Amino acid sequence: MDLIHRPRRLRTTAGIRNLVRETKLNKEDFIYPLFVIGGEGIKEEIPSMPGNYHCSLDQLMIEVEEIVKLGIGGILLFGIPDHKDEIGSSAWSEDGIVQQACRKIKEEYPELLLITDVCLCQYTSHGHCGTLEDGCLLNDPTLENLAKVALSHAKAGADMVAPSDMMDGRVIAIREKLDQACYDDVAIMSYSAKYASAFYGPFRDAAHSAPKQGDRKSYQMDPANSDEALREMKLDLDESADIIMVKPALAYLDIIRRAKDNFITPIAAYNVSGEYAMIKAAAEKDWVNEKAIVLEMLTSIKRAGAEIIITYWAKDAAKWINDY
C-alpha cells in the first residue's frame, strides 16, 4: 500500500489526541441555573430533574458556595414566587425572592457572575410570559413590565439580565430602562432564538410556569424555522443585546452554527431541562454512560459555536472535564 495520508496517525495516543483536539471545554464556559423559593431550610429535589432543587435562600447560599469553589462561569437565577397575579407584578417587587437572593449573593460573593432570568410566566396566574387579554398575549404593554423586572434585578445586584419572554422589542425596552437609571454597565443576554419546544417540559414543572391554557406558539419560535432565528438575533443585536442565545441546544446545533457564522458576538446555548431529563432517565437505567454522553454533548454544543453553555450539568461537568 502506498498510503501517505493516514489520519489515524493523529489518533494514536491520548497525548496526540489532546494536542490536536479542536474544541476543549472549560469550567468557565458553564452557567448553572438555580431555583430560589421563599421560606427557610427548604431543599426539595425537582422530580423530573434529579440533582436540581428548589432552595430557600439559606440553602441556596450553600449551593452558591460550592459553585464558587468549583470555579464555574456563573449562575442563572430563577424565582419561584409565593404570589401570582394577572400581570405578574411580584416579578418586580423589591422584596421578591430573586431580588433578595441577588442582594445576598452579591454581598457574600461579589466576584461571582450573577445572571437573572427576566420573564413573567412564573409570576402570572395564567402562566403566560406577559399580559393577557381575551386569550391574546399583548406585546407592548408587557414590555414596560419586563423592563421593570430587569431594573429591579439590576438594583439588587445582577450583573446581567436574560430576557426569556420572546416579546418583540424587549431588549431595547430593557436597555433604555436600565440606562435611564444609570445601570448602563448591566449586560443583556437575550434568549434571541427561543423555540416553542417540547424540551421545556421538566422546567415548567420545576418553575410552576406551564400556561394554564393554550401554548406559547404565538411568541416562541416555530422549530421548523432557521432564517427567522437569524432575523431575531439581528434585531436583538440592533437593540443592543450583548450576548445572543439559542434555546434549546441539542436539537438546534445548526442554529448555533449559523449564529456563529453570521455574527461577531458571544453566543450562548441553553442545554434545557428536557435534554437533561432524557439523559438522566436513560443513565438511571444504565442504558447510557452519563459522564461520557454529557461531555460529548457539551463539546458538540461548543463545537457548533456556543462559547457559553447554560447547563444543569455545570457542577458535574466542571469536575468531569479534568479527566476527559
Question: Do the annotations mark residue 55 as ligand-binding?
Answer: no
Is residue 194 flagged as an active site residue? yes
Amino acid letter, 81: P
Contacts of 80 (CB under 8 A, 6+ apart): 35, 36, 37, 38, 54, 97, 122, 207, 208
Task: Return the C-alpha torsion angle 223, 245, 242, 262, nearest 10.
Answer: -60
Tell me how far apart the alpha carbons of residues 138 and 124 are, in angstroms, rounded to a whole number: 13
Q: Is 119 annotated as contributing to ligand binding?
A: yes
CB of 75 to ligand PBG, least distance (A): 14
Q: Among residues 177, 247, 280, 302, which one is catalytic? A: 247
**For residue 155, what are the CA distances in angstroms to 35, 114, 183, 192, 311?**
20, 13, 8, 24, 26
Known active-site residue 69? no
Q: Per CB under 6 A, does 129 bind ligand PBG?
A: yes
Binding site annotation covers 232?
yes
**Subset of residues 88 to 127 that bind ligand PBG, contact rule: CB under 6 A:** 117, 119, 121
The residue from 54, 104, 153, 204 that contacts ligand PBG (CB under 6 A) is 204
Pull the grid cell for residue 44.
Answer: 426539595
Compare residues 129 and 174 and give the one whose CB is closer to ligand PBG. Answer: 129
- Rule CB under 6 A: is residue 200 a binding residue for ligand PBG? yes
Q: What angle do CA 250, 278, 253 make, to 5 degrees?
A: 5
Question: Exactly one of 98, 172, 272, 317 binds ligand PBG (CB under 6 A); which one?
Answer: 272
Q: Which chain residues interact with ligand PBG by CB under 6 A?
A: 117, 119, 121, 129, 164, 200, 203-204, 209, 272-273
Binding-site members are: 119, 121, 129, 204, 216, 232, 273, 312
